[in-house]
Amino acid sequence: MVEDSLSPAAITNGLATRFIGQEVTCYPSLPSTNDVAKRRAKEGDKEGTVIITEEQTAGRGRIGRSWLTPRGSIALSIILYPPLAYLPSLIMVASLAVAYSIEQVTNLKVQLKWPNDVLLNGKKVCGILVESDVRGDKVDYAVIGIGLNVNLKLSEFPQIAPMATSLSWELGREVSRREMVQSLLAQAEKLYLALAAGDSVFKQWRDRLVTLGKEVQVSSGETTCKGVAESVAADGSLLLRQPDGSLLKIVAGDVTLRR
């Protein structure tokens, strides 16, 4: 077993950030870190506050799905108060921060799949759920929720094993969650601050998407479309070239690579 304390002191000690992760609350168990982070944001907690838990009992994924967080995973949420223009970029900030931190800590090669999946060898290792409250043209708060499978034996979770993986499963050894969290928070702050400087975050995200140029099937609600994932727009939507030549802009959906 690697040394693996997720106490606030262990996380903040030596953390090279200005505000993300400088306030941390750790729980042994929670239904969902995003729910606590949203409540704490409404109460006006500091920007960059992180809520983290050892396990979630009702972790939430996109489009009403559930997210499994047994012990050995990382489940955390970051509170932000961004300008409205940054909102579509938060998923890019989070995906890239996860990718860069995995690569920094483990040397594993990460792929990003539109819209928010982080993959290792084609299997999902992390899920991201960004939630926000907007009034008029003002963002009351945004919460970036990140669930990362770190030290999970996939053989113990047959329900997700066909499509999921973990860092330890890929590496054949355990990984320090403290190191992962610190790297992730530092990368997230760097990328978040870079949003002010223009479109570099968007370009980094676009260039990392394994989805682009591939024949895909996209399910969005009740509808399914096929085509070539041609590009992404700066607002994060996917541009799908359909068999009849038309270009379809897809804001939310699930992508399956067809070959």
Using CB under 6 A as the criterion, which residues of the chain lie in contact with ligand BTN when the complex forms? 32-34, 56, 59-62, 65, 67, 69, 75, 77, 127-129, 145-147
* The pairing of beta strand 238-241 with beta strand 247-250: antiparallel
For the bound state, the minimum distance from the C-beta of residue 126 to ligand BTN, rounded and expressed in Å, comes to 8
Q: Which residue lies nearer to ligand BTN by CB, 210 or 228?
A: 210
For the bound state, the minimum distance from the C-beta of residue 246 to ligand BTN, rounded and expressed in Å, comes to 29
For the bound state, the minimum distance from the C-beta of residue 237 to ligand BTN, rounded and expressed in Å, comes to 18
Q: Are 78 and 143 in contact (CB under 8 A)?
A: yes
Q: Which residue lies nearer to ligand BTN by CB, 74 or 201?
A: 74
Q: Can the peptide bond before residue 162 be classed as cis, meaning omega within 30 degrees of 0?
A: no
Cα–Cα distance, 96 to 16 (Å, whole number)? 18
Q: Positive or negative CA dihedral for 7, 97, 131, 168?
A: negative
For the bound state, the minimum distance from the C-beta of residue 245 to ligand BTN, rounded and expressed in Å, comes to 32
Helix axes 200-208, 177-194, angle to 10 degrees: 130
Q: Which residue lies nearer to ligand BTN by CB, 33 or 183?
A: 33
- CA 250 to chain CA centroid, nearest Å: 19
Sole residue written with tokens 């909102």: 87
For the bound state, the minimum distance from the C-beta of residue 243 to ligand BTN, rounded and expressed in Å, comes to 29
Q: How far, in Å, are 30, 92, 210 from residue 174 at the CA level?
A: 24, 27, 27
